[in-house]
Structure 1
Amino acid sequence: MSDMQNQMAALLANFNAEVFEFTDQSHLHAGHAGNKGGGHYAVLIVSDVFAGKNRIARWRMVQAAFAPLFDAGKIHALSIDAQTPTEYFH
């Protein structure tokens, strides 16, 4: 696991994720306007904590968990796929 993946996994510890997939997409965005550092990442998180929550609420939960990484400038952009186990495995 990369350092960033380890940091993200640690911040998601309370989510008890059944699946956590991490993709570094930074190479696809190298040199684009507005990027002053920080990486571009995509995550898939499968957890029961998302049950009964709509897509926006799930996104906000993940954004809040990763706030320290955004605040430190380590994340420039993040694509989030947040699903319940029922949604993911069926």
Structure 2
Amino acid sequence: MRPIASDPTNTEIIEHLSRYAPGTAVRMAINPEFPYAHTLGGIVLGVGHDGSPVIYIGEAGQAGFLPALTAQELGWHPRTVVPARTRRGVGATDQ
């Protein structure tokens, strides 16, 4: 994952999105502690707290839990390794 600026410009977002296929769905990942995927709502031009123009992307609704691998790619959750499993004998008795 290539990090994006904390307050990216429209050009920076377009640059990041242009690396992916045009038909790929776009969702927002919300809340690193309890990650969910959200669909996008409206996109409007508004004004920031300092009076400068800001593009706001609204959230339209929740689309379920964020997949674990996606949370790991975002750096929200540590990468984990599945522990090796050992096969236990069937019908074995303790001696």
Q: Which band: TM-score by shorter chain?
A: under 0.3
**The structure with more helix, counted as a fraction of residues:** 1
**The structure with more strand, counted as a fraction of residues:** 2
- Structure showing greater Rg: 2
